[in-house]
Amino acid sequence: MKSLKILVMDDEIYANDLNPAILAVERLRQDGHSVETTDRMSVVLNSLKSRHFDVYVLDIDMSAVVDELQDANGATIGKVLRQWSAFSNIVVFSARGEAPHWFASANYHFQGYVFKGDRGVDELSAHIAQLASQTVHMDFSLEKCALPRDLVIYRHESLPSTVLPWQRIRELCHRVFPDPVLHECTRLQEVQDALKTDPACVLLLHTMFRDQETTWADLDVILAVQPTPQVIIGVDSGAGGAPESNRGVILQLVNRHPFRLVDLTQSDCEVTLETSLAAARLWYARQEIFEYPTDFQDFVGHPLSAEDLEAIRMQDELFAEQEDGDEE
């Protein structure tokens, strides 16, 4: 197994106890990885200027340590890292994350989300081992794919009629995809059959998937077709009670890496769904690359080296002078 360079960010990493973060670092070192630690979010972002890490392991709740970064958490940092580079590997290792962090982790394609429970350290070790054995496929082809017209839509009957009724879903699909052919399904098995049409996108909407092997097996078959087509999942994080009670299922979904995971309890979920469909259309057959995190530019610094900038600047100066000269 390849040895990885890992940066672990956790606000309890220097505590005088054997908390899960400290145990995780020990374990990852035993696994043969090179592990560095920090309890500061700003250190992670600033490291982009001077250090390379293969994987960032991030805690969500960083409130135990005072940092120059305000109103941020591990999910924010992971999001910025993924915006900075679509090739940053992020694994969340946290006990305190909440629904928005779970959904953000899926939507920014974090490589894993591990709950610091009884088996947390083992699960983290397994996630990192999986990353160490993977080879990254980079697709930078500008050739336009022939985008199919077919869309596969699954809407479970348990969804209330007020939440994205069929007619609304059809309208959204027609807004994003020109003249789509919709395959409307109410069972996951039907979705699997409809995949034979080589659809442009698959949309799965459910109150909450049941945590049972058959469901996961069906979902695995569907999600395995990504990125052609991309699969968008929408669930109600508050189904049957507090989001906490659905954490296990939602994290299972996060770790299955759908293209988007939409929280249907949010008032703007229709807008989110529409932008998700548009993104799936743009990134059909490709790895998604996010727009640069301009909000965090001061912390991250642009990825261009000083030499690159100098070369471009010189060319620009030259160009400007020539323009002046020509005008004379």
Partner 1 sequence: MKSEPLYLLDTNVIYDMLTMLTEKPSGIGRSIDKFLSVTNKKVYISDLVWTEFSISWFQKNISFPDYELWYSRKLASYAQVYQQLLRRNVELLPILKLSAGGYAGVVDLARDLAIVKYDDSFIREVQKNFDRKLENALREEPTEKNRQAHHEYVERLQKNYYNGKLLDGLDSMILASSILFAQENPKSTVTLVSNDRWMGTAANHLMLNAASYSLKNLTKRPFTLKIKTPAELGR
| Residue 219, CA distances (Å) to 96, 206, 301 in order | 27, 12, 39
145 binds partner 1 (CB under 8 A): no
* Only segment of 16-24, 96-104, 142-150, 194-202 that touches partner 1 (CB under 8 A): 142-150
Q: Rule CB under 8 A: which of 214-233 touch partner 1?
A: none
**Tell me, what DSSP letter sits at residue 244?**
G
Q: How many residues bind partner 1 (CB under 8 A)?
A: 45
For partner 1, the closer of residues 240 and 325 by Cβ is: 325
Pairing between strand 55-58 and 5-9? parallel
d(CA 318, CA 170): 54
Q: Which helix (H) or strand (E) holds 233?
A: strand 230-235
Least distance between partner 1 and beta carbon 281 (Å)? 11
Q: By rule CB under 8 A, what string of x and - marks binding of each residue 245-284 to partner 1?
A: -------------------------------------x--
Q: Does residue 201 contact residue 280 with C-beta atoms inside 8 Å?
A: yes
Q: Does residue 127 contact residue 93 with C-beta atoms inside 8 Å?
A: no
320 binds partner 1 (CB under 8 A): yes
* Residue found by looking up tokens 């960032």 in the block: 56
d(CA 177, CA 183): 14
- First CA to last CA distance, the chain: 65
* Phi/psi at 9 (5° precision): -110, 120
Q: By rule CB under 8 A, what string of x and - marks binding of each residue 9-48 to partner 1?
A: ---------------------------------------x
Q: Does residue 113 contact residue 105 with C-beta atoms inside 8 Å?
A: yes
Could you give the angle at the alpha carbon of 209 between the alpha carbons of 203 and 213, nearest 5°? 115
Least distance between partner 1 and beta carbon 178 (Å)? 14
Could you give the angle at the alpha carbon of 222 between the alpha carbons of 246 and 86, nearest 5°? 80
For partner 1, the closer of residues 67 and 288 by Cβ is: 288
50 binds partner 1 (CB under 8 A): yes
Least distance between partner 1 and beta carbon 313 (Å)? 7
* Only segment of 9-17, 104-112, 114-122, 139-147 that touches partner 1 (CB under 8 A): 139-147
* Only segment of 24-32, 92-100, 146-154, 311-319 that touches partner 1 (CB under 8 A): 311-319
For partner 1, the closer of residues 143 and 157 by Cβ is: 143
Q: Rule CB under 8 A: which of 77-136 touch partner 1?
A: 84-87
* Only segment of 35-43, 147-155, 194-202, 297-305 that touches partner 1 (CB under 8 A): 297-305
198 contacts: CB under 8 Å, gap ≥ 6? 148, 150, 228, 229
Residues at the interface with partner 1 (CB under 8 A): 5, 48, 50-52, 84-87, 138, 140-144, 282, 286, 289-292, 297, 302-305, 307-309, 311-325, 328
